[in-house]
Amino acid sequence: MGTAYTPLTVHALHADAPGGWLHIPQGTPAANIGLPLENKNPAIGILKPGTDRDPNTSEPGCQVRPDDYVWFQRVLARVGAAGLTAFAGDGESTAALLTTRQGSDFFQGFAHASAGTVQDESYTLLGEKFEGTDHVFRLNGERVQAFSGVAKDILDVLVTRKRRGQPEQHADVAAHRQRVHEWKTKRHGTFWDRKWGGVVSISRAGTVLAMRQVPPFDDD
């Protein structure tokens, strides 16, 4: 029995570098990167330039065309920010960064206390302040605490807060990009934190995952 193969063409960009600041094309200032998104539906298909008098043709695929550059930059910036707020357990702020088609409804109605005004789930890990959410579970019979969070200075500009007598605070995506860029120069990796009493893993984006054994209950 023969096997049918479908041709697939992949166009990708690769840079041999550790990463850095993403430059904004002229005419799209960074201050506009966090503007609200409309539920846009770009045309599907990769447009092939025509030759001579032949009209342009398209192939199956997805192409971001020049007219959609500004919109797509906002999509990427807001989705990246939403990933951080979701990691910290703040559903309300995550929903505010996404469109309906991206699943904002899934996150509405839930916000962890640490991402609001209570701030009751915050830890200083390896000398840096983080806020987020935690879970306690059993691993090989031992009770283990796992904390996932985001650096406080980054999360502060992303959370959506509603305070009585004050205007509602919305995410500042441009400030988030700047602070994440600054975080790339800080210490990152996986280390043992003696004060925390467990392992701590910090990413270059300012997120943290920390685990430690929970002391057993005192039955006396």
CB 25 within 8 A of CB 33: no
Is the predicted pLDDT of residue 197 greater than 90, yes or no? yes
Q: What are phi and psi of 185, to 5 degrees?
A: -90, -5
Segments making up each domain of the chain, as ranges: 30-213
User: Does residue 71 sit in helix, strand or coil?
Assistant: helix
Give per-residue pLDDT as tens, 173-195. Answer: 888 888 888 888 888 899 999 99
Tokens representing 111? 């916000």
pTM over 0.85: no
d(CA 141, CA 43): 54
Beta-strand ranges (E) seen in 140-194 are: 142-151, 189-193
Tokens representing 131? 């806020």
Q: What are phi and psi of 89, to 5 degrees?
A: 90, 20
Helices first, then strands: H and E counts in the chain = 5, 8
Tokens representing 80? 């990246």
What b/e string do you get for 104-133 counting C-beta neighbours within 10 Å, with b at 16 or more? Answer: beebeeebbebbbeeeebbbebbebebbbb
**What pLDDT shows up at residue 6?**
52
Is the predicted pLDDT of residue 201 greater than 80, yes or no? yes
Pairing of strands 198-202, 207-213: antiparallel
**What pLDDT shows up at residue 213?**
92
Give per-residue pLDDT as tens, 111-145. Answer: 544 444 333 478 999 999 999 888 888 888 889 99
Give per-residue pLDDT as tens, 84-99. Answer: 888 888 878 888 888 7
CB 136 within 8 A of CB 145: yes
Q: How confident is the model at residue 161 (pLDDT cuts 50, 70, 90)?
A: low
DSSP 8-class letter at 169: B
